[in-house]
Amino acid sequence: MAEPDAKASAAGEASAGPSKPQKPPNPVWRMMGLPNFRFKLPSRNWMIFLSITGSWTAAVMYDRRQKKRIQKKWAKVVEHIAHEPLDVHQLPRRLTIFLSAPPADGIVPARDHFHEYVKPILVAAALDWDAVEGRREGDVRAGLAERIRKLRKKRGEATAEPLEPGLEEELEGLRQRAGVSQWSGPGGDIIIGRHTWKEYVRGLHEGWLGPLDPPPSSEPTVEVPVAAIEPTPASTEAPSDSTTPATTDDASPTAIPETPKAEDAEKPKEEENKPKKKKQPPPFISTAEYHNAVLSQNCPQALGPAAVVPLPHLLGFFNFPIRMFRFLNKRQAADEIGRETAAAVLGVYRPFETAGEASVTNEEDGHSQAQWEQQRLLAHEEPDWSKTARKREEGDTRERVWLDEMVLDPRIAERMRRFALDREVEERAKSMSLSKEESWFSSLWPKEKPKGAWEGLRDD
C-alpha cells in the first residue's frame, strides 16, 4: 500500500515544478544575530484589524489636535489681559462659575467639563474665579438666592433675622481699613449646562422678588405633653444612670432594673458625631407669585452679565453611536465653549433679546408668555436628559426646576445681560492661525530654552 502513495507524491512534486530556492539572509542581519526579515503584506484578518484600529486612532488624534489648536486660538485672544497691570489698592476681577451635577449622574462630569474646556481660557487670561456647585436639583437655586438675600440685608433692608457678622464681614472691614476697594466693573457669571441655567434664572427671581425671611411652614407643629411617671421603690433604689421601663412589673419590690447595653449607649454617640446633611431650603416664593411680588429697591438696573456654556451629556447603551460621534467631535464643543468663555473674559455684554414686542398674557397666572432669549438657550439639551428628570411621578407636587418650564418676570428679564464678542474680535479670531513655530511638525524637535530676565545683559 505504501508504493502507490510514494508514487503519487513523486508525481505531484514533478508536476509542481522545481521549488524556488530560498533567498539567503542579509549578511548584516546575520552578523547582528537577527533572523532574515521578509517584507510582505499581512493576512486578511490582520488587514481588517489594522485598518479599523488605524482609522479610529487617526480620527481621535486629528480631533484632539484640532481641539488644542482651537483652545490656543481663544487663549491668544484673551492673553493680553494677563499682562495688564493691577492696582494694588483694588481687588482683581473675579468670575463666578455655576455648575451642577447633570441629571441622573454625579458632579464629576461637570467638573471635568469645566477643567477641560473653560479653565484653559481663564488661566490664559490670569483671571480668578469662585465656584458654586450643586450636587442635586435645586442646590444652585438655593445658593444663588441666599447670596442675593445677604446682599439685600447688607444694604439695609428690614428683616426679622438680621445678618450676623461672619468671616466675610471681617475681611471686608480689614480691607476698608487698609484702603483696598472692590472691583469697580461687573464681575460676571459662567453657567454650565441647561439644567444649571434654569436654576440660575429661578434663583435670580427668588432672590430679588422673594421675601428676606423664610415663609412659615405649611405643616403645623403639635406639642406632645410628656406623661409624668411616679417613682417606684425599684427606681428609687436604682442609680441615677439607669433607666426603668414603665410597665406593671416594675411596681413589685423584687423587680430588678435593666441596665442599658454598651452597644446601645454607643449608637447615640456615633449618630451625634456624624456630620448632619445640610437640608435644602424650600423656595421663598413660587413662580405663580411673581406678578404680585414687589421688586427689591436695591435691585440694580442692569444685573451682572452671564455666559451660558453648553454641557453635552448623554447616557444609555442605545445612545452609543451618538456618544461616539460626540467623542470624535470635541473640537466643535471646544470652539463654542471657547467663544463663550472668551466673551466673559473680555467683559463685553449686551441685553437679552425677545422674539417680538407684543406679548401674550396668561389669564390664569398673569405671566408674560413672550419668547425670551433666556428660555431658548440650550433648549436642545433637555431631550438628552434621563427619563427620571423629564417625567413627574404620580402625586409629586414638589417644584421641579429641571422639569418645569422656565417662567420669567419682565422686571428681571429686562435687567439680565449676556456676554457677547464684538465683530472685530470675531474677525481677529477667524484670521488667527498658528505660526510655523507652533505647527505639529515643530513639536517633534525640542525648542530652544527661553532666556531668563538676567541673561544676555551687559554690565553697563
234 or 203, greater pLDDT: 203
Count Cβ atoms within 10 A of the Cβ of residue 105 and give its class: 0-12 exposed, 13-18 middle, 19 or more buried.
middle
Least confident of 14-23, 117-126, 339-348, 384-393: 14-23
Beta-strand runs (E) in 82-232? 94-100, 128-134, 189-192
Q: Measuring CA to CA, how many Å separate 219 from each of 95, 179, 369?
A: 40, 50, 33
Q: Which helix (H) or strand (E) holds 308?
A: strand 306-309
Residue 96: φ, ψ to 5°: -115, 125
Judged against a pLDDT cut of 90, whether residue 354 lies above it is answered with no
Give the number of other Cβ atoms within 10 Å of residue 421's Cβ: 18
- Going by their DSSP bridges, the two strands 306-309 and 189-192 should be labelled as parallel
- CA–centroid distance for 147 within its chain: 19
Compute the distance between CA of residue 254 and CA of residue 288 in angstroms, rounded to an integer: 67
> Is the pLDDT higher at 398 or at 273?
398
Neighbouring residues of 386: CB distance < 8 A, sequence distance ≥ 6: 103, 104, 105, 315
**Cβ-contact 138, 403 below 8 angstroms:** no
- Determine the Cα–Cα distance for residues 210 and 294; give it in Å rounded to an integer: 8
This prediction's pTM: 0.73
pLDDT value at residue 168: 75
State which amino acid sits at residue 297.
Q
φ, ψ for residue 97 (rounded to 5)?
-100, 125
pLDDT digits (tens, 9 = 90+) for 246-264: 344 444 444 444 555 555 5
Closest CA to 69 of 386, 390, 330: 330
Neighbouring CB atoms inside 10 A of 293's CB total: 18
Considering only residues 361 and 331, tell me which one the structure prediction assigns the higher pLDDT.
331
Least confident of 65-69, 412-416, 422-426: 422-426
Q: 307: closest CA among 273, 261, 367, 348? A: 348
Q: What is the pLDDT of residue 276?
A: 64
Q: What angle do CA 145, 147, 149 make, to 5 degrees?
A: 70
Residue 107 confidence (pLDDT): 93
pLDDT for position 216: 76
Residues 166 and 399: their CA atoms lie apart, in Å, by 32
The model's pLDDT over 138-161, given as tens digits with 9 standing for 90+, comes to: 899 999 999 999 888 888 877 767
**What pLDDT digit, counting tens, does each position of 397-408 carry?**
778 888 888 889
pLDDT tops 90 at residue 343 = yes
pLDDT band at 67 (very low <50, low <70, confident <90, very high): very high
Complete DSSP assignment for 331-364: HHHHHHHHHHHHHHHHT-EEEPPBS-S---B-TT
Give the least confident one: 116-130, 349-363, 406-420: 349-363
**pLDDT of res. 310:** 94
pLDDT at 239 > cutoff 50: no
Over its C-alpha atoms, the chain yields an Rg (Å, rounded) of 36
> Would you place residue 125 in the very low, low, confident or very high pLDDT band (cuts 50, 70, 90)?
very high
Going by pLDDT thresholds of 50, 70 and 90, the confidence category of residue 325 is: very high
Helix (H) or strand (E) holding 48: helix 44-78
The region, left, alpha or beta by phi > 0 then psi within -120 to 50, assigned to residue 378 is: left
443: pLDDT strictly greater than 80: no
Cell of 307: 455666559
Q: Model confidence at 448, in pLDDT bands (50, 70, 90)?
A: low
pLDDT of residue 111: 94
* pLDDT score for 272: 60
* Pairing state between β 417-419 and 349-351: antiparallel
End-to-end CA distance of the chain: 107
- Name the average pLDDT for the chain: 78
pLDDT at 398: 79
Residue of 133, 138, 144 lying closest to 280 (CA atoms): 138
* CB-CB neighbours of 290 under 10 Å: 23
pLDDT of residue 54: 95
Beta strand residue intervals within 157-236, DSSP E: 189-192
Most confident of 213-227, 320-334, 347-361, 424-438: 320-334
How do 306-309 and 349-351 pair as beta strands?
Answer: unpaired
Nearest to 141 by CA among 268, 281, 4, 276: 281
Q: Which amino acid is at 367?
A: H
Residues forming a β-bridge with 417: 351
CA dist., res. 242 & res. 245, Å (int):
10
Using CA atoms, how far apart are residues 70 and 64, in angstroms rounded to an integer? 10
The one-letter amino acid at 128: D
Residues 99 and 134 sit within 8 Å (Cβ to Cβ): yes
Confidence at residue 449, expressed as pLDDT on a 0 to 100 scale: 58
In this structure, are residues 378 and 310 in contact, taking their beta carbons and an 8 Å threshold? yes
